[in-house]
Amino acid sequence: MIDYTFQWRVVWRVWPELAKGAVVTLEITVLSMLIGLAFALVFAVVRRSRIPVLSQFVHGWVELARNTPALLQIYMAYFGLGAFGIHIGAYTAVLGAIAFNNAGYLTEILRGGLESISRQQRMAALSLGMNRFQAYRYIIFPQVMRIVFLPVMNQTIWAMLGTSLGMIIGLQELTGATAFQQSLTFRPFEFYFVAAVAYYVIAKTIILASRLAAARLFRG
């Protein structure tokens, strides 16, 4: 039988510490997505334009982001950059690595979205007398938004969960804060269980919020 007494009060006592961790988690999620999207928008256009050196640079970035573990990317930022005399903190390292990763994946998502809009759509827009900008603004971009919405949301969830890797290099985001607090009490199960619930709630909130946003944006 189980002879283990669950003690939830020890977790409750330090909830402000965990909440602080959750704020860091959210911060990095939002920032890494914004940075990632900004890069990806430029990258996707570069990839489609096939400008020689630039396009290959983006291709290399995407491949690196996709084919190495995010933890390795964090190590690279945190330990590896030291070889170039660049020393950054855990927060910056995690933010940088997750943003690097987001940029890579989002580039592919946006590129796929752009590619799926047929040439005819653009032709049709131009033939109605729209200029190139108008064609993008009114015809192509709204369609791309719909197509990439779901993958971008999934990437957001991935980024949010990925911030937990910060714990390994000592960052006090939600998982890191949990690890630190439980190490003072030796009640790993209770602490991590509460953290798991918190992550679940955050993930569901992100999904719910973006669904609501989508319902408003993509009406009709």
What's the 3-state SS for 31-99? HHHHHHHHHHHHHHHHHHHCCHHHHHHHHHHHHHHHHCCHHHHHHHHHCHHHHHCCCCCHHHHHHHHHH
In this chain, which stretch among 40-48, 74-82, 91-99, 125-133 interacts with other proteins, using CB under 8 A?
74-82
Q: Is 120 in the site for other proteins (CB under 8 A)?
A: no
Q: How far apart are CA 168 and CA 71, in angstroms?
A: 9
Is residue 175 a contact partner of residue 24, using CB atoms and an 8 Å limit? no
Cβ density class 183-194: b for 16+ within 10 Å, e for less = eeeebeebbeeb
> Interacting stretch for other proteins, rule CB under 8 A, among 31-39, 69-77, 133-141, 145-153?
69-77
Looking at the Cβ atoms of 71 and 123, the one nearer to other proteins is 71
Q: Which stretch binds other proteins (CB under 8 A): 27-35, 111-119, 126-134, 187-195?
A: 187-195
- Considering only CA atoms, give the Rg of the chain: 21
Does 29 contact other proteins by CB under 8 A?
Answer: no
Fill in the per-residue mask, 142 to 161: x = in contact with other proteins (CB under 8 A), - = not in contact. ---------------x---x
* Interface residue list for other proteins (CB under 8 A): 2, 4, 63-64, 66-72, 75-76, 79-84, 157, 161-162, 164-165, 167-168, 175, 178, 188-189, 192-193, 195-196, 199-200, 203-204
